[in-house]
Amino acid sequence: MGLFSKFKQTFFGGGEELTDSLAKTRKGFVEKVFDVFTGKEIDEDLYEELEETLIQGDVGVNTAINLVEKLREREKQDKIKYAHDLRDVLIEEIIKLMGTETVPLALNENELNIILVVGVNGVGKTTSIGKLANRMKKDGHKVILGAADTFRAAASEQLKIWGERVGIDVIRHQEGADPAAVVFDAIAAAKSRQCDVLIIDTAGRLHNKVNLMNELSKIRRVIDQEANGALKEVLLVLDATTGQNALSQAKTFSEACGVTGVILTKLDGTAKGGVTIGIKAEYDLPVKLVGTGEQIDDMHIFDPQSFVSALFADLNEEESEATSNEQTID
């Protein structure tokens, strides 16, 4: 088994751990959605309430409208009469929307792989880089970090602390230095030390999109010149607790730098888990990694089937038990 096959297998979170981490989302978003169908007739009021609930759950306006329209179609097509059956159709449509396959990191063996990490300050970008580097090192990769966020005073120092914690070298310059120069030196260091993964931190200045685009374009030119073909991923870090803000950041960064995937942080701390659905549906961005806690190992490859199962399974089981009890009493 190659190193990257091993990475794909071991870097996976599901089962009880994922179910536990989604407790707040189930109590918030999912229970509110289920309540829409409880004891209701299928009518226009139900559809309007469902659309509003989905939007409030941060799945995105377009996604909410499209899901409700799918339910209208399925009601007629499948001759659905009961609201709880329509609710099951909603779950089916969300599964279709999310897909059934994991989207692993696009990395190759026996060559340098560069991962560019982008995102606004405060979303857990540096922590995510540290967790990712730690896991990849554990799986046998030789990793090096590039501190190209020279705009924020504490950024390179935080990355240095993570590097020391994980036992990985960090290439950094002084505050205010040219980020592209840091990337140039980091690539040179990665080559000379025969590293197979270089993870680069970048500044996230959304208040000036032009500067952001120019800076990232310059970084990508340096990568193309010094390590052509090595850039495998541009990962956007989003904070799940920010809901609609996460969706707007996904839009801006996708336009600015060609994002290939999302790292979703703080999934364990939010009732706004609907944003996971919105990211995929609104911008066709795969969530590749999720952070589900404060510990260094609390990062996992995102599996959409495990996510949807963890999101809905417990509530379905609870309702099935309640229905069974009612039938027994009768």
Q: DSSP for 96-163? A: HHH-SS-------TTS-EEEEEE--TTSSHHHHHHHHHHHHHHTT--EEEEE---SSTTHHHHHHHHH
C-alpha distances (whole Å) from 37 to each of 30, 144, 320 are 11, 51, 15
Residue 162 shares a structural domain with residue 228: yes
If you average pLDDT over every residue of the chain, what do you get?
83
Q: Is pLDDT above 60 for 330? A: no
CATH number at residue 134: 3.40.50.300
pLDDT tens for 45-79 read 999 999 999 998 888 899 999 999 999 999 999 99
CATH number at residue 36: 1.20.120.140
**Higher-confidence position of 25 and 242:** 242
Burial class (CB in 10 A: 0-12, 13-18, 19+), 278: buried
Which letter, b or e, does each residue of 165-180 get, where b requires 16 or more Cβ atoms within 10 Å of its Cβ?
ebebbbbbbeeebebb
Is residue 6 in some structural domain?
no
With a pLDDT cut of 90, the percent of the chain lying above it is 45
Residue 221 shares a structural domain with residue 73: no
Nearest residue to 253 (alpha-carbon basis) of 267, 238, 266 = 238
Q: What is the pLDDT of residue 6?
A: 37
pLDDT tens for 313-327 read 655 554 444 344 433
pLDDT tens for 282-310 read 888 999 998 877 788 888 888 887 787 77
Q: Give residues with Cβ within 8 angstroms of 280, minimum separation 6.
A: 97, 98, 99, 286, 287, 304
Residue 274 shares a structural domain with residue 130: yes
Is residue 43 in some structural domain?
yes
Residue 84 shares a structural domain with residue 208: no
Across residues 116-132, what is the average pLDDT?
Answer: 91
Is residue 196 in some structural domain?
yes
Q: What is the pLDDT of residue 80?
A: 94
Structure token digits, residue 22: 């989604």
Q: What is the pTM of this model?
A: 0.83
pLDDT tens for 208-237 read 567 777 888 899 999 999 999 999 999 999
Residue 289 shares a structural domain with residue 313: no
Residue 56 shares a structural domain with residue 141: no
Residue 95 shares a structural domain with residue 200: no
Is residue 50 in some structural domain?
yes
Q: Residue 213 belongs to what domain range?
A: 113-304
Q: What is the pLDDT of residue 5?
A: 35
Residue 131 shares a structural domain with residue 221: yes
Q: How many domains does the chain have?
A: 2
Q: Give residues with Cβ within 8 angstroms of 152, minimum separation 6.
A: 121, 203
Residue 31 shares a structural domain with residue 54: yes
Residue 183 shares a structural domain with residue 268: yes
Q: What is the pLDDT of residue 1?
A: 36
CB atoms within 10 A of CB 254: 18
Structure token digits, residue 313: 């399974």
Across residues 162-177, what is the average pLDDT?
Answer: 94
Alpha-carbon span 264 to 22, nearest angstrom: 13
Residue 74 shares a structural domain with residue 28: yes
Structure token digits, residue 311: 């999101």
Beta strands 197-201 and 170-171 are: unpaired
Beta strands 299-301 and 287-291 are: antiparallel
Across residues 32-52, what is the average pLDDT?
Answer: 93
Sign of the CA dihedral with 223 first, then 226, 229, and 233 last: negative
Residue 31 shares a structural domain with residue 174: no
